[in-house]
Structure 1
Amino acid sequence: MERSAQGFAGTGAPGAGPRVPAQPRAAERERGAADRGAADRGAADRDRGAPGTAAGGRTSCPDGGAAGVRGEHVHSETPFPGPRHLVQRSSVRGQILDALRTALVTGELSPGEVYSAPALGERFGVSATPVREAMQQLALEGAVEVVPNRGFRVIVRGTRELAELAEVRALIEVPVMLRLARTVPAERWAELRPFAEATVRAATSGCRATYAESDRAFHRAVLGLCGNDQLVSVAQDLHRRSQWPLVGGPVSHGRADLVADAAEHLTLLEALGAGDVDVVQALVRGHFAGARRGT
């Protein structure tokens, strides 16, 4: 079913074979011979050090460019006045993408519903183009799928997919955190405390989207100490996917669940700083076990 704008939003000819290049006419052949003669004379001039030439057989130009031996001319161009619109458009696309990701986390974009780019654009007060570009990015991330001639359908997810995501995240993050607990000095972990405290504040507010963002920021800061940008990027993508709500209802996490989840971040950070590998392993595995249940 397609949403309307009053809610969140409604959402050549066949190629021939190889072509034979056209053959030059007689007049063209004569002009070609004349051009070759001129090129030969130009080469002789360069050998004699004629003015207007440079080493390597390239003609120097007043604007600092160089023309090839075939006789091209390089012309200076007037700079395009004013700011480039592409920067502003990219900014709009990024803002729309952030807004749509938030709507996914909060359940405002409902699983199974189809949303069209024009209707979403009307809601955001922009054209359909940046919305369509943002939705295409979400399609690459697996959040939505393209429905031809209609728009984008939010993917329906179940508990099995959530459990699979939690399992893969555990396979990546648990070994990394255990290694970091053994190698990273305590003072480095102390520097990450503001990230853990931010998750507590976000959880207390009860805003699911705010907590999701701070939760990813904390895990990104911890994993970032491993120095592997590719690993952090993959883990962040999996983390974001695991935050999308399940089908059958808006959000499975209540405020109390968020507060309990955030408290684990502070405990985990203390265990990492103390180098207590056993506690770190128990906390991280328990954290992902809860994620498998959607709590």
Structure 2
Amino acid sequence: MEQAGPRSAYGSTGVGIPDLRTGTVRVPAQPQAADVDRERGVATPGAAALGAPGPAATSGAEAPAVGAAEVRGEHTHSEAPIPRPRAESARPVVQRASVRGQILDALRAALVAGELTPGAVYSAPVLGERFGVSATPVREAMQQLALEGAVEVVPNRGFRVVERGTRELAELAEIRALIEVPVMLRLARTVPAARWAELRPLSDATVRAASLGCRATYAESDRVFHRAILALAGNSQLVRTADDLHRRAQWPLVGGPVTRGRADLVADAAEHTALLEALVAQDLPVVQSLLREHFAGA
């Protein structure tokens, strides 16, 4: 049986997740396909029949919304068209890729916050109802999470959240230390103090996020801070690899929705501040000691 998990208002978690219930997903017209049909002498329906915005739509007039069944190519002759609300006519068109990205961010935040339980199975239609969107962008977002290793596909049921133990978390921390510590120590010897000082707003952001106690918000600010430091090395492959490991290390463990409370987040953020101060002062022994403690605690 599919589990919907605990229902929650994602817009109130403090992670800046938009309200998707008021958005309208539009599929842009594809003039190239129509041009090919005209060259072959095949009659093609007009833009209005395809649901693409015509001249009236571009001038601010109302246009009928495209139903999900039409997008999939299903026959909907017996269904009455759903008019677009007048109040929404001035809103910018939301592209499908944008909706998928927003859903992916929301699912990642829910995962870190422990709202998606390890071992539980969630279906795209049920999650779509929670977010107020169709199952398609949810399914695509969950497939991306499957590629990242956060969930696994369960045929004909949905997606199961991976179950991780403390051993995997320790392995991730060890790999992160092997990658990040040597790079940060090298940067500590070469990057000028003024450049390190420019990162103070990012370390301050981790402190503010930790004080709120929101794990999803802190997780994002934590990754931003580490990415900014590693980006100084000028190696984009390094940044992507380290960021992926960092994200995996933030997923919940089996046996409880979270493993780190507010006090742990505050202590972790304080280490960011101390590390940055040592980098500004170019105090290499302190930098090395703080890095070892930081990754050991991770």
Give TM-score, length-normalised by structure 2: 0.71
Among candidates 80, 96, 99, match of residue 92 of structure 1: 99
Match of 1:172? 179
Give the distance between the partners of 1:185 and 1:224, measured in 2 at CA: 15
Matched, 1:211 2:252: no
CA RMSD of aligned residues (A): 2.4
Secondary structure in structure 2 of the residue aligned to 1:146: strand
Match of 2:120? 113
Work out the percentage of aligned pairs sharing the same amino acid: 78
Give the distance between the partners of 1:270 and 1:176, measured in 2 at CA: 17
Secondary structure in structure 2 of the residue aligned to 1:213: helix
Deviations, residues 61-88 of structure 1 (Å, cap 9, x unaligned): xxxxxxxxxxxx899xx997568x9961
Match of 1:150? 157
Secondary structure in structure 1 of the residue aligned to 2:153: strand
Give the distance between the partners of 2:264 and 2:170, measured in 1 at CA: 18
Among candidates 224, 237, 243, match of residue 231 of structure 2: 224
Give TM-score, length-normalised by structure 1: 0.72
Give the distance between the partners of 1:223 and 1:103, measured in 2 at CA: 26
Give the distance between the partners of 2:53 and 2:149, measured in 1 at CA: 40
Secondary structure in structure 2 of the residue aligned to 1:226: coil
Gap regions ≥5 residues in structure 2: 9-38, 59-65, 67-92
Among candidates 129, 134, 139, match of residue 136 of structure 2: 129
How many equivalent residue pairs?
226
The amino acid that maps onto 1:3 is: Q
Equivalent residue runs for 1:1-295 within 5 Å: 2-4=2-4, 7=7, 81=53, 88-291=95-298
Secondary structure in structure 2 of the residue aligned to 1:244: coil
Shift of 1:211: 0.5
Given that residues 5 and 123 in structure 1 are in contact (C-alpha distance below 8 angstroms), is that contact kept between their aligned partners in structure 2?
Answer: no
Match of 1:67? none
- 1:183/1:156 CA distance change after superposition, 3 Å: same
Shift of 1:282: 1.1
Larger radius of gyration: 1
Gap regions ≥5 residues in structure 1: 9-72
Shift of 1:7: 3.6
Given that residues 102 and 209 in structure 1 are in contact (C-alpha distance below 8 angstroms), is that contact kept between their aligned partners in structure 2?
Answer: yes
The amino acid that maps onto 1:205 is: L
Give the distance between the partners of 1:5 and 1:212, measured in 2 at CA: 22
Give the distance between the partners of 1:268 and 1:167, measured in 2 at CA: 19
